[in-house]
Structure 1
Amino acid sequence: MSLYDDAILVLKGYESSEGRDEEQRALGQSYLDHLAAHPDGLWKSCHAGHVTASALVIDPPRGRVLLTLHRKLRMWLQMGGHCEPGDPALAAAALREAREESGVEGLSLLPGGPLRLDRHPIPAPCHWHYDVQYAVLAPPDALHTVSDESLDVRWFGYGEVAEVADDSVVRLLGAARERLGE
Structure 2
Amino acid sequence: MLHADAVEVLKSWHAPDAEQEELRAHYLHHLSTHPDGMWRSCRPEHVTASALVVDAAGRNTLLTLHKTVGRWLQLGGHCEPGDTTLTGAALREATEESGLSSLTVSSEPLQLSRHLLEAGGCAGAYHLDVQFLVTATSTEYVVSEESHDLAWFPLDALPPDTDCSVQELASRAQHHLAQH
TM above 0.5: yes
Q: Runs of 4+ in structure 1 displaced over 6 angstroms?
A: none
1:155 CA drift (Å): 0.7
Q: Deviations over 1:81-126 (max 9, x none)?
A: 000111110000001000100111101113x410000000013555
Larger % of helix: which?
1
Which of 120, 128, 134 is matched with 2:126 structurally?
128
1:28 CA drift (Å): 0.5
- Segments of 5+ residues of structure 1 without an aligned counterpart are none
1:29 alignment counterpart:
25
1:44 alignment counterpart:
40
3-state DSSP of counterpart to 2:141: coil
Q: Structure 2 matches for 1:60-99, cutoff 5 A?
A: 60-61=56-57, 63-99=59-95
Same amino acid, percent of matched pairs: 47
1:158 CA drift (Å): 2.1
3-state DSSP of counterpart to 1:130: strand
How many equivalent residue pairs? 176
Matches of 2:19 and 2:7 in 1, distance apart?
A: 19
TM-score (norm 1): 0.91
Matches of 1:176 and 1:151 in 2, distance apart?
A: 25
Q: Which amino acid aligns with 2:2?
A: L
Structure 1 contact 105–142 (Cα < 8 Å) conserved: no
1:4 alignment counterpart:
3
Over the residues paired in the alignment, what is the CA RMSD in angstroms? 1.6
1:162 CA drift (Å): 5.5
1:153 alignment counterpart:
150
Matches of 1:34 and 1:94 in 2, distance apart?
A: 20
Structure 1 contact 91–134 (Cα < 8 Å) conserved: yes
| CA spacing shift, 1:43–1:62, aligned 2, 3 Å | closer
1:116 alignment counterpart:
111
1:159 CA drift (Å): 2.8
Matches of 1:125 and 1:157 in 2, distance apart?
A: 31
Structure 1 stretch 61-70 or stretch 82-91: which is displaced more? 61-70
3-state DSSP of counterpart to 1:55: strand
TM-score (norm 2): 0.92
1:59 alignment counterpart:
55
| CA spacing shift, 1:95–1:167, aligned 2, 3 Å | same
1:62 CA drift (Å): 6.6
3-state DSSP of counterpart to 1:175: helix
Structure 2 contact 27–128 (Cα < 8 Å) conserved: yes
Structure 1 contact 118–133 (Cα < 8 Å) conserved: yes
Structure 1 contact 162–170 (Cα < 8 Å) conserved: no
Q: Structure 2 matches for 1:8-23, cutoff 5 A?
A: 8-14=7-13, 17=14, 20-23=16-19
1:137 alignment counterpart:
135
